[in-house]
Structure 1
């Protein structure tokens, strides 16, 4: 099994490295938010009660890293749909490679890409803006975003295999991702001091809200908060369910 996963990972990684533009494309939106939204958030955090502890960059940077995983990993199913259309998946089905490896090799490639993009965002925030975070906090942040990428990539591939429609796929994703984005507090934290009670209570049902809170707690070095523990447990549960759905779908559809 590990050898099969490595073979699929290496194949997909080679294909990705042939077109390194994915790095810049995936970073464009977060970089724009850093430059044009970050300075506004500095003034807001200084003058508005209700914001979580930490500087504006400790609030915004981890959220943008989650955004990279949220959108970048959710749309990877497009590549699988293209391979279905061109017959690549059919050729892989007749090989002795395990069906689980067909998924996990791709998922690990996607997670590595997301982690690389997250590292570049952190470096930029350190060099250009006033970001402060310990090395341990950054490592924990990268682990969280890597697991989130594994979760969303698995779900994206499973959804692509289930619907097999390149027109319906983006419509479904946009319908699901927009409320997740708005209710996760990525741009403006949804706290009891800022949001109406009903909005705060609704946001608590969004599992990604807890992951964002965990990232922010990690960045400010607060490893004892309930936010970090809750977000980690929620993320672990989502990862188990996402990988399970992806593996079952690959085994069923590629039997």
Structure 2
């Protein structure tokens, strides 16, 4: 009797985890609408209300003054990825407690592969939602050179991976679904508001809020936004790309260690 090759086991596991995430999302079209409601509200309402309040200076990557609506797009794309990353974290907690992941975590396959597939599934959903939002932004008159679209998509992919890895790491700490809302509010809103998603960082420097400026500069969400902002104009922010790539590796490594039944937090909590 021949043994099933390891590569086939890996492909089957990937199909089970990633395919399940995508099929579940496609069977629920309302999830796309609910995921885009929040950024659309900011995009339509806040851009109209604050268009004449926030002046955006001619600083890189901009070569001329831009409307506030155009400035907001990278931040709202990152918002989509952030909330989807946290949603993936909730899904992981649920699946670990009573769903499919409870069984998969006991399978004779490295947990690193399973976590990588979970990360891939969350990143795929984030990228899909972000691409839909880009189309909506085009419909509302936001324009950028289409030759920069591949670079923007790559920045979106890497940023979504970072935020999905963050959600994966946080799922280690969240023991019960009841604790999810409080933990997510503690993470989502500080990350989003202490960043250049809604206003340029020089505004903080101009107002003398140095401590907020320092926090924003150390905020990984800031660098997700800036990587996409520069990519929209065909430019590369080397620091932001370095933080995004390094942060992804760190968050995924911590999640991998945390789910290790021999050394991680899973062992300390006495979980499977």
Query: Common fold, TM-score beyond 0.5?
Result: yes
Deviates more, 1:77-86 or 1:103-112: 77-86
Report 1:80-159 matches (<5 A).
80-129=92-141, 131-159=142-170
Distance 1:111 1:195, change over 3 A: farther
Picking from 234, 237, 241, the partner of 2:243 is: 234
Deviates more, 1:90-99 or 1:230-239: 90-99
Does the 8 Å CA contact 2:82/2:164 hold for their aligned counterparts?
Answer: no
Residue 217 of structure 2 aligns with which residue?
A: 204
Distance 1:49 1:97, change over 3 A: closer
Residue 15 of structure 1 aligns with which residue?
A: 24
Q: Which runs of 5+ in 2 are unaligned?
A: 1-6
- Aligned partners of 1:7 and 1:89: how far apart in 2? 10
Deviations 1:45-79 (A, max 9, x none): 5xx36474352233111110011111221232211
* Bigger Rg, structure 1 or 2: 2
- Aligned partners of 2:216 and 2:251: how far apart in 1? 21
Aligned residues: 248
- Aligned partners of 1:97 and 1:136: how far apart in 2? 42
Q: Which runs of 5+ in 1 are unaligned?
A: none
Residue 247 of structure 1 aligns with which residue?
A: 256
Picking from 185, 189, 210, the partner of 1:178 is: 189
Report 1:59-78 matches (<5 A).
59-78=71-90
Q: Report the alpha carbon displacement of residue 216 of structure 1 after superposing the two structures with TM.
A: 1.6
Q: Secondary structure at the match of 1:29?
A: helix
Does the 8 Å CA contact 1:81/1:166 hold for their aligned counterparts?
Answer: yes
Does the 8 Å CA contact 1:9/1:109 hold for their aligned counterparts?
Answer: yes
User: TM-score scaled to structure 2, two decimals?
Assistant: 0.80
Q: Structure with the greater relative contact order (CA < 8 A, sep ≥ 6): 1 or 2? A: 1
Q: Secondary structure at the match of 2:187?
A: helix
User: TM-score scaled to structure 1, two decimals?
Assistant: 0.85
